Structure 1
Amino acid sequence: MKYIPLVARTFIAILFLYAGINHIFGFAETQTMMANKGLPLATLLLGGTIVFQLVGAILLILGYQTKWSAILLILFLIPASFVFHSPFDPAERIQFLKNLALIGALLTIFYHGAGPVSLDARQSEID
């Protein structure tokens, strides 16, 4: 049972790792898409997106500063959901709802913490 939070954190983090790596390899295409959406400073925003996704995912997997990593990813998901996945566009609605589910999962992690198999738990044993 003690490994369930680790597995859950890892499953959630895989999505953000995959997206961050995808953005690195498809940087030009993603930057163009963001600019076409009317976002200013698309290069800077995309760089920030990649950092948020990769750092947040790695921290989630390690269970280190887990509450902050959950908040970091939520802060990324909220604007991304509304800018790129409008709930009013039937073609994007399922993506919007998936992001809501991710926010719910991250809020659960924020509330309950990383669980027993995490660097956060190890740190609290030391303190």
Structure 2
Amino acid sequence: MLSKFESQFALAARVLLALLFLPAGISKLTGFAGTVGYIGSVGLPFPELGAVIAIVVEVGGALAIIAGFKTRWVALGLAVFTVITGLFFHKFWAVPADQVMVQQIMFFKNVAIAGGFLMLTAFGPGAWSVDAKRGE
């Protein structure tokens, strides 16, 4: 019964996943100095480059996912990006006790989002997508 809504669910899934990344990327762009400072605060090298990469991945990736353009590759890239950012920015194992719970939730949120992107990688964007229109 639910299979008749497969296209609608696939579109909704793409939009819902992208809604986390598009505003985050835009806020990194509009608050570039703060983003650079935050990236630098965790000890990553070349924080300016990291900020640019994050903005491109988050804004560009979100728009591609919404449109269903090169979905499998973009989703795989976003899955990897999301796990890596969780490892660097939500180190629940290395924070004071009063921060563990929030950072652990944020880390596993990233892991779950990566799982959603891996589902898109495995099953594609659905019929309502640029990829489907292009026969990919």
Q: TM-score range by the shorter chain?
A: over 0.9
Q: Aligned partners of 1:110, 1:72: CA distance in 2, in Å?
A: 9
Higher fraction of helix: 2
Q: Percent identity, aligned pairs only?
A: 34
- When the two structures are aligned, how many residues end up with a matched partner? 125
1:115 shift after superposition:
0.4
TM-align CA RMSD: 1.2
Q: Is 1:33 matched up with 2:55?
A: no
- Which whole-Å CA distance do the structure 2 matches of 1:20 and 1:103 have between them? 17
**TM-score in terms of structure 1 length:** 0.93
Deviates more, 1:72-81 or 1:36-45: 72-81
72-81 or 54-63, larger mean C-alpha shift: 72-81
Task: Return the offset for 1:87.
Answer: 3.8
Amino acid at match of 1:107: L
Residue pair 2:80, 2:114 contacting (<8 A) in 1 also: no
Give unmatched runs, 5+ long, in structure 1. Answer: none
Aligned to 2:116: 105
Q: Show the counterpart of 1:122.
A: 133
In structure 1, what is the equivalent of residue 16 of structure 2? Answer: 11
Partners of 1:106 and 1:33 in 2: CA distance? 25
The AA in structure 1 aligned to 2:131 is: D
SS at match of 1:109: helix
Amino acid at match of 1:12: L
**Alignment match, 2:62:** 57
- Paired residues for 1:75-114 under 5 Å: 75-88=80-93, 89=95, 90=100, 91-114=102-125
Q: How far does residue 71 in structure 1 lie from its aligned partner after superposition? A: 1.3
One-letter amino acid matched to 2:9: I
Distance 1:75 1:48 in 2: 13
Structure 2, gaps ≥5 residues long:
none
Q: TM-score, normalised by structure 2?
A: 0.87
One-letter code aligned to 1:113? G
Residues 68-79 of structure 1: pairs in structure 2 closer than 5 A: 68-79=73-84
The ranges of structure 1 where at least 4 consecutive aligned residues each deviate by more than 3 angstroms after the TM superposition are: none
